[in-house]
Chains A and B, each alone.
Chain A
Amino acid sequence: MSLITILVLAAALIGIGLYGALSQQSFVMLMMGLELMLNGTMLAAVGFWAYTAAGVPEGQLLTIIVMAVMAIEMAMGFALVVAVYRGKQADVTEALEGFRH
């Protein structure tokens, strides 16, 4: 376990997440791709904190901020999915032409 292996693992998670976020048609599956990318980001931040920051707590603070971003993304994403479904009975990205009602 070293900084390089941690970062390669984080890169793999971000790559898989990017594939999912770009390729999935269902809104909920698309959000899972975004979550996976944030997962990789958090891991990279903790890796940098452990190996290059001499243990200063601000490194962990960054991870907590990413966690908050993750919670916000999840909540707003689900609210958008519910709003879009209520308005257009749609749950795939192709069914939308724009954000107008």
Chain B
Amino acid sequence: MTAVDLAFLLNAAIAVYSGWRVFRTDSMVRASFLLLISFLAVGAIMLLLGAVYLGVAIFFMMAVEMMIMALFMVMFMMNPAGLNPMNMVHQERISAAAGVLAFVALGAVAVFGEFPSRPKPEGLDVVARLGHELLGDSMLVFESAGVTLLATMIGVVVMSSRRGRYGDANEGSVPPGLEPGGEPAGQPPDDDDEEHGCH
């Protein structure tokens, strides 16, 4: 077993274990950092495979993305600091069966499938070739991804803005009750606090 194999096994174990722990930890912030660890291990495996640009890009992208995710986790966290046991799942058996089934089916394809063996040649200048491809033959694909991201940014701003063109985005909406059919839970954040303001 070579050093590369050893590094791969180590990173694979980290990727799977931390990926599994994401759904087993009690704190949602910890979950996002565990997902970050899983991504970093996959990025390291990409480096081992020789995809230098992609591996490093995963490092940078995921570090930033998971920080944003951790912020959202704090905003939407049910269980601050993970002090209480948290198990917010539904249809768990079906989900677990679907996950195992997906693993077995895809693993069977990996083990029993016949793939051509054309490994990349030694000493290939991977990054330069990718750059020429991105800004050469595949420029349309690359630019389409860029334009799609721009459209996403506009859509995100529209969807998450508080005010729409015709007034407040949440006008007329009523939060669900704590019990089915009960009184609305909480107040919309921007309610006018007049004489009968609820607290």
Contact = CB atoms under 8 A, between A and B. Distances in A.
A3 B155 contact: no
Given A36-B38, A52-B116, A57-B133, A16 B156 contact: no
B102 A11 contact: yes
Interface of A: 1, 3-20, 22-29, 32-33, 35-36, 39, 42-43, 46-55, 57-58, 60-61, 63-65, 67-68, 70-72, 74-76, 78-83, 85-95, 101
A1 B46 CA distance: 12
B109 interface: yes
The interface size bin for chain B is 35 or more
B109 to A, nearest CB: 7
Interface in B45-64: 45-46, 48-51, 53-54, 57-58, 61
A11 B110 contact: yes
Contacts of B22: 16, 20, 32, 36
A61 B134 contact: yes
Contact of B23 (A4, A23, A75, A82): A23
B8 A1 contact: yes
Contacts of A92: 88
Contacts of B72: 28, 78, 81
Contact of A88 (B45, B51, B119, B176): B176
